[in-house]
A and B are shown apart, each in its own frame.
Chain A
């Protein structure tokens, strides 16, 4: 899980120069909808009057915001996006990639930074309006409930839950003392799972009356009154043969 790797420096060695382009969110969303091949548009690099101009134009299919294939005129994403280019500037930016198998590769150095800007036209304005509307909607709404909430406890003489509980207890009856050996087996299997147990939990597991259970456990176990595992029962050392976690793992893998 921890990524430790020798960094593959091939990219840098080849002095691959890359561009870092900042793209608006809506555009990247559209790109996510691109077909399998991955083509999203075309980039035009031209020299106009000495200046380098880069522009990106989105594929027509991707302009629809609703989904691929829809042609909803109202939510059209603008197509033309000129890039504003800067050089790398003060920072030295490098790109590294993390592969699946903890492989880290240094892909290259950033030579140019660009920002993908939309052309401000009506389409764009419409888009922005929609975005704003969405963002101003509150995330939490108030709903009116059809039925009243019934989980609140009204004061009663005796709650339903309590009554049921008592009835259950009566019908189930008192816990019957099972055979000593049976109980011991149950205890041992329980202690195999965990080392420390509360007496209440043991009662729950074994379904034995407390006094009887205590008798039995006093034979095989010891009570922890202090320390981290307070007021818990654990097996006596001679009965214990826990394996540490690593050993268990080894056993499992073997």
Chain B
């Protein structure tokens, strides 16, 4: 029923619109995403059915009604129970279930069509089709389904995806992710032999794909160390099996990864192994790629560890030390170990020029001298520091240990140094009083008699400073060596060591001083006593 009506500038045609009444057919819309590039005309065959998987969840499992297995009045009881608890169960409506569309048979694509809600609420959609007679027929749209293609390939579950996301910056080989997953699945399912075969077979199939069990780890992932090792080992095996061509770059990367993983494994135990490397500062370059990495990492590890262990050792030695001083001390210690005499000589030499009182601190495990040291040549320290530290597995820890062994010789030297040092360094402002004090007690034991001669280990120099007597002799010794204030003297004779109470100590000391009648000198506004022989 077309009729023409037109004005000059436009041509228009009229068509009647019909809305058929007797519609047994319900029209629905099937919406695809343009990205999926779906072309319906290419479909040869298609099957569509409702996805009833939700029925298990929603539908109540009805026990057999009537006869076998049923109870009398069960339904009513269940209903009243539900009402009592206010449980409102949503009905399972077949109409609202998603569609499953299979195109081109089993091997073809699969789509899932989920109903879109709210389509018919405020406006109605009509499908206008043109009939052969030219009129339009309008059919109301019953429902709108959004069809999305379903992945046939394997995907990661949510947990796995989260995991991989966390490692995304470290994992280079993404093919390995799915391979690993498959491997894991097979392990759960089949025997080991089969797994191996499958794994190797798959690897061969994939050719360039890597045995994907390698993982790169940063320092932070120390926890996973063991698993990494096993994984890396498996990965290595896998690699061996893979015959496919290897991308050289990838291979290199892998080697590095392996190395890093090995490195990671080693670092735990052999922290100090790399301390002896020439690489002191980050800028050092070495021939192979590994060394700087290792050095870097070792350094990196050292510092945090150093501080920790430092605190430990400090407790032991009742002290606190910065690391630098440690290194210096260790260095000294090391030397001291080998050639006590030489050390002493060197120290002597140093004492004249530099602050080798690091030895003192070494021996005593105290940093008093470190204060003096600090002002002196740091580079020299640094140079030898690493060497020294290399010898000691954990720097902070060693001083106390070593000191015990070498104390006898070193103490003598130390005391000698002290004598030399104290006048010059004197009241070093850097040093908190505590450090100096700590230095002192240890120097008590190796009672050096003379100023200039380094005392050989004699009976006087006893490593343990526990048997300190508050005697005139001891006081005399101190005052000869160096001018001291009363406070210093008191601190020398600690109550812990003398076994006297503080009051007693004060009294006894006062008496002794009276007897000795030392000379007085005012240093830094403090009254110092000293004796001359």
Contact = CB atoms under 8 A, between A and B. Distances in A.
Contact of A97 (B25, B64, B72): B25
Nearest to A30: B19
Given A5-B49, A23-B125, A47-B12, A195 B28 contact: no
Interface string B22-42: 001111111111101011110
Interface in B61-87: 64-73
A197 B123 CA distance: 54
Nearest to A229: B71
B156 interface: no
Nearest to A192: B67
Give chain A's interface residue range (CB within 8 Å of chain B).
35 or more
A201 B73 contact: yes
Given A94-B30, A107-B27, A43 B15 contact: yes
A66 B41 CA distance: 46
B29 A94 contact: yes
B31 A91 contact: yes
A244 B68 contact: yes
A18 interface: yes
Contacts of B126: 20-21, 23, 28
A91 B34 contact: yes
B289 to A, nearest CB: 51
A95 B124 contact: no
A29 B295 CA distance: 82
A38 B21 contact: yes
A13 to B, nearest CB: 7
Contacts of B49: 2-5
A190 B66 CA distance: 11
A132 interface: no
A95 B125 CA distance: 12
Task: State the main secondary structure of chain B at its contact with A.
Answer: strand
A107 B67 contact: no
B46 A9 contact: yes
B30 A99 contact: no
A16 B137 CA distance: 13
Given A5-B48, A12-B40, A197 B71 contact: yes
Given A39-B17, A92-B31, A95-B30, A28 B128 contact: no
Given A91-B32, A104-B48, A39 B18 contact: yes
Contacts of A49: 9-10
Given A3-B50, A20-B127, A95 B16 contact: no
Interface in B86-121: 94, 101
A231 B39 CA distance: 62
A4 B52 CA distance: 11
Given A7-B48, A20-B125, A93-B29, A99 B24 contact: yes
Given A20-B125, A45-B12, A40 B46 contact: no
Interface string A123-140: 000000000000000000
Given A6-B46, A106-B46, A242 B68 contact: yes
Contacts of A208: none
B21 A34 contact: yes
A77 B278 CA distance: 94
Contacts of A75: none
B520 to A, nearest CB: 100
B352 to A, nearest CB: 88
B287 interface: no
B122 interface: yes
Contacts of A67: none
Contacts of B101: 7
A96 B30 contact: yes
Interface in A192-251: 192-198, 201, 229, 232, 242-245, 248
Given A2-B52, A21-B125, A107-B127, A41 B68 contact: no
A227 B126 CA distance: 56
A22 interface: yes
A46 B11 contact: yes
Give chain B's interface residue range (CB within 8 Å of chain A).
35 or more
Nearest to A51: B10
A95 B26 CA distance: 10
B25 A248 contact: no
Contacts of B69: 195-196, 242
Given A28-B124, A45-B15, A195-B69, A18 B129 contact: yes
Nearest to B122: A25
Contacts of A7: 45-48, 101
A42 B14 contact: yes
B288 interface: no
Contact of A42 (B16, B36, B123): B16
Interface string A93-120: 1111111100011111110001000000
Given A23-B124, A34-B21, A195 B67 contact: yes
Given A44-B13, A91-B31, A12 B41 contact: yes
A16 to B, nearest CB: 7
Contacts of B30: 93-96, 106
A9 B43 contact: yes
A245 B68 contact: yes
Contacts of B70: 194-196
A25 B123 contact: yes
Nearest to B34: A90
B136 interface: yes
B382 interface: no
Contacts of B189: none
Given A36-B21, A44-B12, A48-B9, A243 B67 contact: yes
Contact of B28 (A98, A192, A193, A242): A98
Contacts of A193: 66-67, 72
A92 B113 CA distance: 13
Given A18-B129, A28-B140, A193-B66, A12 B43 contact: yes
B127 A95 contact: yes
Those 4 A-B pairs whose CB atoms lie nearest each other, nearest first: A46-B12, A242-B68, A4-B49, A7-B46
Interface of A: 1-7, 9, 12-13, 15-16, 18-25, 28, 31-32, 34, 36-49, 53, 56, 89-100, 104-110, 114, 190, 192-198, 201, 229, 232, 242-245, 248
30 contacts: A3-B50, A4-B50, A5-B48, A16-B129, A18-B127, A20-B125, A22-B125, A23-B125, A28-B124, A31-B19, A39-B16, A41-B16, A42-B15, A43-B14, A46-B10, A48-B10, A56-B17, A92-B34, A93-B31, A94-B29, A94-B31, A97-B25, A107-B129, A114-B128, A195-B68, A198-B73, A243-B67, A243-B68, A245-B68, A248-B67
Given A94-B40, A97-B25, A197-B71, 20 more contacts: A2-B49, A3-B50, A5-B47, A6-B47, A12-B41, A16-B129, A20-B29, A21-B138, A28-B124, A41-B17, A43-B17, A45-B13, A46-B13, A92-B39, A95-B29, A97-B26, A97-B139, A190-B72, A196-B71, A229-B71
Interface of B: 5-6, 9-21, 24-34, 36, 38-41, 43, 45-50, 52, 64-73, 94, 101, 122-129, 136, 138-142
